[in-house]
Each structure stands twice: as C-alpha cells, then as structure tokens.
Amino acid sequence: MTLVEPSDFPVAWPSPDAAELLWEHDAMHNPEQLLPLEQSFATLSMTDGFVRAARTYELPIEAVRTLFVRGWPYQATVPTSADPIELDAQASRAHQRLVAEFPGLGVLWSKQVLPEVEAELAMIGAPLACLDGTALADRFADATARFVRIWELHFLVVLPAYTVLSEFDELYRELFEEATSLDSLQLLIGQPNLTTILAEELWALAHRASPQVRDVLVDRPTAKVEAALDGVDGAASFRADLAAFLDRWGERIDMWDRISLPTWQEAPEVVIGQLRDLVLTPNDQSPSASMTRARKIAEEETTAARAKLAGYPAEVRALFEERLWQARTATVVTEDHGHFIDFGTLPRLRRLALTAGGILARTGSIDLPDDVFHLDLATVVDNLRAPGDARVVVRTSRRELAAGATQVPPPTLGKMPQHRPAYSVSRYQSKFFGEAPPSANDGGELRGFPGSPGRATGTARIISSLTDADRLAPGDVLVCTTAAPSWTSLFSTVAAVVTDTGGPLSHCAVVARELGIPAVVGTQHASTSISDGQRIEVHGNTGVVYLR
Amino acid sequence: MLNEAVQWLDAERALDVRRVGGKAVGLATLNRRFDVPPGFVVATEPTCSNSDRVAAAYAALGERCGEPEPAVAVRSSAVDEDTGDSSFAGQHETLLNVRGLEALTGAIEVCIASASSPGAVAYRRSKGLGSSTGMAVLVQAMVIADVSVVGFSANPLDETRFEIVINANWGLGPSLVGGTVTPDEVVVARGPDALFVKSRQTSDKTRMTVALDLGVAEVPVPRALRLAACLDDRAAISTAQLIVDAAAALGRPVDVEAAWAADRLHLLQARPIVATRACSQQS
C-alpha cells in the first residue's frame, strides 16, 4: 500500500527499492531540518550505532536507512525477514535478551557505559590547535569511529531501559485493571536525575542573584541584560555565578543532532532568557519543591499498590517489587544518558566542524567557516585532505533547505509493510514516540495522550526553540512540536505543556510528571492547530485540550 | 470445653458426624497429624441461636491467630457430605476471606441456606438420599495461598499405578477447582527409595484467585508468571507426600485440596474419592 506523497513534497528516491520501504519522520527528535553535516552524523548514529546494539540484542533489524528530503530527516528499518512468524519469533527472543539486562541495568550504565562514553568524549574533544587539513581529516575519522561507538553504547543501555519502563507499566496495568499508564508511571517520579538537577541549578542561579540583579533580569529584554548589569549591586557575583554555571552546564546544544547551532557557552542569552521567568516563579514551584511533592506522590502510590497486592501470591508481589526497583533505576538512566551522549557529543563535533570550517574557508573551498555545515562529512574530509571547490555544494544545500523550509514534512513516505512485529521494542517505542491519537481532532478540542496528570488553563504560546521561549510568561501554556531535555527549566514556570509528538514515556511527559504540571503529548497537530495567544484548557488525565 | 453447638477441629473428643458433617469430621481427624488451618464448626441446631457461641469462638480463634478479627474461610459441612458415597462437591457454599463478626454471621447463614438450593436438592434425590438432615458450617483461619494444589492419591485414569497427580495454580483455590484455568500438572511416582517427579506439564495459567481487602476475586496472572511452573520438584514431592499421608490417615483413596503459603503446606480438604473410574472430581 503506497502512502500518499503530497504533490508538493516530491521525493528523489536514491534507488527503486527505497520507495518500497516505510520511511518515518521522527518529529520528536528532529522537529526541524538538518544541514548536510548534521545529516551525516545523525545517519551514522542510527545506521551504525543503533544497528550494532540491535544486533547485540538480537532484534529482527537487518539495517536502518536514512533519507533527507530537502533537509527533512526520514528513517526506514529493514527487517531481518519478510516472514511475519519468523519476525515475531525473533522479536520474542530479543525480548528475552532485553529482560535479561534488567537486573544489571544500573551497573551497565554507571560502571560500563558511562566511563567509556566519557573516555570517548574526551578523545573527540581533545585540543584542536595547530592542526593542518590532513591532521584534522584524521581527527574527523577518529572522531567518527568514536561517535559511532558512543551511539552503540547509547542503544545498548537505552533499549533495555525503556523496555523496563514499558514492562513495569504493563505489569502494573495487568495487576490493576482499571489503571492507566499515568497511574503506573506515578510510582517512578521524584528521583533526581540530571534533567531535574539542571533545572534546580538554573533556579538556584536565578534566586541567588541580588534583588537588583533580579530586577534587571525581569525588566530588561534578554539581549539588553548583559549591558544593563554594569554597576548594578551584585552584578559581579552574578556574572561569576553565571560563568560557573556555563562552565558546568554550558556545553550543550538544545536540540538533537543540531551541531550547526550555538552552545549555551557561545550564546548565553538562552540561559539569561530562562532566568527571567524563574525569578518570577514562587518558591513552592521550584524544581526541588516539585520533586519533593513528586517523591511523596510516588511513595503514596507505592504504598497503595502494595496494600492492594497484600493478598496476592508471594511470587506476584516479588515480581512487582523487582520490576518497580528496576523501573526506578531505568528512569534515572533514561534521563541521565542524554546529557552525556545525545547532547554531550554535539558541542565537541561542533568544534571539530568549526575548526574544519576555518581551514576550508582559508583554502577557499568554502566562503565562510559556517558554510562547513552545508557539506556532508565525506566532502569535509575530502576537502581537508585535498582542497577543492565546494562552494557550489554549499549553494545547492542552501537552496534545498530554503525550498524545504516552508514545507510540512509528511509523517511517513514510501510503503506500509504488511506486518510489523508486536514485540517489546516497538511497544515501548509507541509509548515513547506516541501513536496516532485516539480519535480525530474536532473544532473545540484536540486529543493526544495523557502525559502528566492535572488540569490547567492558560494562554498558549507556540514555541520552537529556547530562544523563542523568551516569549513565555509564567502561567502560560507551552505548546510545541517537541521539548528537548534542556527545555526542562521552562516547565517550572508554565502552567501546562502540550506537544505534537511523543507518548507517556517521552522526555516531555517524564519531566512534566516530575515537576508536577499537566501535560498532553502526541497530539500531532497542537503546534499548528492552536493559535499563539489563544486561551486553552489542558486536561492531563484524559489527554484532551479544550480550545476557547 | 465449649458447648456442643460450636466444636473445635482440634477438640479432644471425636466430633459427632451427625452434628458437624463429614467434611468437618474428616478435617478433625487429619488435624492431629497435618497442618490444617485452625477453626471451629457451627453445628446444626435448628432451634437454638448460635450467635453468642459463634462470637465467642471467633474471638478465641482471633486470639489463636494473633489478630482480633482474623480473616476466615466459611464452608458448608453437610451431615451426609463426604461420607464416601456422596461428595456434594460444588453443591454447597464456600465463602473466602471473610472478616469481622457481622460478615461471619452473614456467611454462616448463606452456607446453611445452601442446603436447600435447587442443585443440592436435585443431588440428594439423584443419590437416593432423603431431604437434608442438617447443615453444619466450618469456620477456619484463612490461608492466603501463594499456590493452590489439588491432588489425587491415585491416578484417576489408572488406579493400579502408584502415581500422585497434582494440579497447581497461582493464588487461592477457586480458580483451580472452578475449571476456568488450565493448571500445571505434575505426576509424582514412587521410586525404590523415595517419591520423584515423573512428569510435568506447565500450562499457560491465565487467571488466578487472590484475596482482596475483603473477599476474593479472580484476576489475570501477570504475563511473566503465566508460563512459570507453580511447583518446583521439592514442592511437588512435599505435596505428594501430604496426599499419600492423608490417604493413609483416612484409610482410603482421597482427593486433596491444599495451599502453599510462605513455604508451608496447609491441608484444606481431603475427601474420599467417590468414583475410582476415570471421572473428574471437579465440577
């Protein structure tokens, strides 16, 4: 069955068999177009990194392919077999392999994966001064190999981690037939992880500032804050505080795969913009106050679950406790890994890319250093070794991206397969990535999935980046395609969150639950159906957004 | 000792079957040698009110169990039940996980009334018995079973073979004896020195009975446990040994209901097998 190809979204298939695959656009991780160099690394993380981990767990995945249509990323999975029975059988075996990892997951992350990731990151991020084109080309080759290994490690730990969460949720709902996924996941909240710790540190940065500095943060537009601090009481210690914060947390880029975007260190206005709203938010909504409340909820729900299970067989109670403990470990792992892997690799690759851009601009291969992002990895490396003229390539890339910039990429392209295995990875994927919402959206309401319980009403702001988030005022409702982990601090100040993408296990839902704000995820259309400035009512428990 | 209207299973005097029914007498006999949940029988007494005696007995049971209002299992024990010719299996009432005197009193009334249920009346007629000669009610401390077992001291398909056939499921007895679930089956045979597991069949056990705050309910078995064997070899052999011993104590082939809780095996019921030809003991 061929999927509809919108007439304004032509696809140049790289080969005839490519058109036979199911290609999906992962708007949750890639809500925007990717530039060619970004495409190269995004591709490697999946075609090489992911596939190696998939093989380790014996998943029925032969290969992953990527396709970029005017910058819009698509991905297709090639299964190991065309036979549905064989696929399901292999998927079951893979499930057992993943379940076998559950008990040792915490150790796998902290003692095996994380140390190796940090070592690889250190090598990728080693100093780049005084390298000529050839030496830098060698560094790229080295960095690429390490990058692939880091992403293999990513999936080695993330695949079982998300499977644990999915299994716990399913066990809970088997045991308590009336329960929803929100109910089960409430037992897991309240554990500090790097996402919530980042939010707390940002909060602390805002609240440690002197009253005068805080006034500047609140009153001045973000771009004018730096200059306005001169001579203000407490400015020196605030600047020192900010510098220390950026030292610790500033090596980050705010969206997956986007090495062409500046880091927080390079563009601290992004941090300053978040501080304003934090200053205006009362203490009882601080991340640590929210986490304390979350911990209490988790304890109460756990006690209630244990009481209901008191008359159940010992084996059932033991299974519940085991999965609960494993799921709590997994929750921390699913948040922490991103800070090191998903986002830790990006600034280091960016530095490599900018250094290469400098060299290529000097040799005349490209006009400006920043043009380097418009070349794919092979072209960069080739031109470093043997300078050529890549300016046409840059111009073509810019043109393609401009053509794609006004388009809305269809969620899928190609052909729907006859059979998709119902195995655990795809079950957790649909909880993570979301599925089509339960029923069609109609005029007055928008349906998605429950992400975090509670109800709130507020003014909707359609936000596409942290810089854009400057427009948010405390009490607004954040509406976006996706919310990356670095957007966490916004969750302390908004009344609710609504997203296009994701399911109950997505980062947005997880963080919303930790910080105790209502969230509806996976609506598919919120960012285009809701108007900026519109009053909306968010019902987290039912997954419905009412539009006024 | 207590008034005859209420008789304890561990009373020193033998119980009067005309007052307490075959089930209770059987359990009292077994109680001397086996781990039978402690309890008492409310004897048939059509004219007197038993409520004070029941209240006192329930309080005494509470003291024995170490909690003031213990959870109990309330079961019928008809005077001519389980006498070897008629088992009345499935005809009379059983109420599980009853707690509190008021609930207990209500449960006893339900059990007594079950003697006149249409099914029970029809069963009597089919066996050539007269109308009910009385219904006693057994009240015993509730065993919250991790695994319930039923077993036969002889293979119902071929009694010449020395084999104990055990069926097991997670949780309490009803889902096992009710026939809604395909249980695990373990066949234990007698070897030259000891009992051994001859064969086992582990089934997909989809549902189990669990104790709620009050009462019981049938619920799904978590996927991860459906295909897990309820009884390991050690437990199967212990169960078989219990069955063999119960048959010896009663002097005839028996079908046994028992429950594993916290690694202890409790005997709940031991009935003489009514028909030794191939027929299901479960309704």
Q: Express each pLDDT in A500-526 by its tens digit.
A: 999 999 999 999 999 999 999 999 889
* Beta-bridge partners for A546: A445, A537
Asked whether residue B7 carries a pLDDT value surpassing 90, the answer given is: no
- A178 at the B interface (CB within 8 A)? no
- Return the higher-pLDDT residue of B16 and A408: A408
Give the pLDDT of residue B278.
Answer: 43
Closest CA to A239 of A254, A253, A229, A249: A229
A95, A171, A172, A316: best to mutate for the B interface, most B CBs within 10 A: A316
Tell me how many residue pairs between chain A and chain B have CB atoms under 8 A apart: 44
For the segment A228-280, what is each residue's pLDDT rounded down to a tens digit?
Answer: 999 999 999 999 999 999 999 999 998 999 999 999 999 999 999 899 989 99
Question: Given the structure tokens 């390539």, which residue do they identify?
Answer: A393
Position B19 scores a pLDDT of 76
Note whether B145 contacts A313, CB cutoff 8 Å. Answer: yes
Lowest model confidence (mean pLDDT) among A15-19, A429-433, B208-212, B274-278: B274-278
Mean of pLDDT values over A342-357: 95
Q: Are A190 and A296 a contacting pair, CB within 8 Å?
A: yes
Asked if B222 and A171 come within 8 Å (Cβ–Cβ), the reply is: yes
Q: What are phi and psi of B94, to 5 degrees?
A: -135, 130
CA atoms lying within 13 Å on the CB side of residue A253: 20
Q: Residue B22's pLDDT band (boundaries 50, 70, 90)? A: confident
A264-to-A31, A273, A286, A369, A463 alpha-carbon distances in Å: 20, 11, 22, 20, 18
Closest CB to B222: pick one of A308, A311, A319.
A319
Amino acid identity for residue A78 in this structure: V
The more confident residue out of A68 and B129 is: A68
What percentage of chain A exceeds 90 in pLDDT?
Answer: 79
A319 near B CB under 8 A: yes
Query: A440 pLDDT band (50/70/90 cuts)?
Result: low
Percent of chain B with pLDDT over 70: 80
Residues A259, A261: Cα–Cα separation, whole Å:
5
Give tens-digit pLDDT for A452-469. Answer: 999 999 999 999 988 898
pLDDT digits (tens, 9 = 90+) for A82-120: 888 898 899 889 999 999 999 999 999 999 999 999 999
Contact A476, A300 (CB under 8 A): no
Place of tokens 């446990």: B225
Contact A311 B212 (CB under 8 A): yes
Q: Which residues of A touch B208 (CB under 8 A)?
A: 313
Q: Do A174 and B211 touch (CB under 8 A)?
A: no
Q: Is A479 helix (H, G, I), strand (E, B) or coil?
A: strand
Under an 8 A CB cutoff, do A315 and B228 touch? Answer: yes
Among B79-93, B131-145, B224-238, B245-259, the least confident range:
B79-93
Q: What is the pLDDT of residue B46?
A: 47
| ipTM (interface predicted TM) | 0.85
CA distances from B194 to A463, B165, B189, B245 (A): 75, 16, 9, 14
Please give the average per-residue pLDDT across A368-381, as a whole number.
97
Contacts of B210 in chain A (CB under 8 A): 311-313, 316
Q: What is the torsional sign of CA A522, A527, A529, A534?
A: positive
C-beta neighbour count of A419 within 10 angstroms: 13
How far apart CA A171 and CA B87 sit, in angstroms, is 40
Q: What is the pLDDT of residue B279?
A: 45
The mean of the pLDDT values for chain A is 92
Average pLDDT, chain B: 83
- Read off the pLDDT band of A292 (50, 70, 90): very high
Phi–psi pair at A467, nearest 5 degrees: -65, -45
Q: Residue B47 above 50 pLDDT?
A: no
Sequence-distant (6+) residues with CB within 8 A of A259 are: A37, A38, A41, A253, A346, A349, A350, A353, A373
Q: Tell how far CA B210 is from the center of its chain.
A: 16
How far is the C-alpha of A18 from the C-alpha of A37, rounded, in Å?
Answer: 22
Nearest to A319 among B97, B213, B224 (CB): B224
**CB B265, CB B35: distance < 8 Å:** yes
- A358-368 average pLDDT score: 96
pLDDT tens column, B97-122: 999 999 999 998 888 887 677 776 67
Across A183-206, average pLDDT: 94
Cα-Cα-Cα-Cα torsion A414, A415, A421, A426, nearest 10 degrees, comes to 30
Whether the predicted pLDDT of B2 surpasses 80: no
Give the B-side interface with A, CB within 8 Å. 97, 144-147, 170-171, 208, 210-213, 216, 219-225, 228, 262
Check residue B264 and give its pLDDT: 96
Contacts of B117 (CB under 8 A, 6+ apart): B91, B92
Q: What's the pTM?
A: 0.88
On the question of pLDDT at A424 being above 70, the answer is no
pLDDT of residue B162: 81
Query: What mean pLDDT comes out for the span B141-145?
Result: 96
- Asked if pLDDT for residue A439 goes beyond 70, the answer is no
- In angstroms, the separation between the Cα of residue A180 and the nearest Cα of chain B is 16
- Evaluate if residue A141 carries a pLDDT over 80: yes
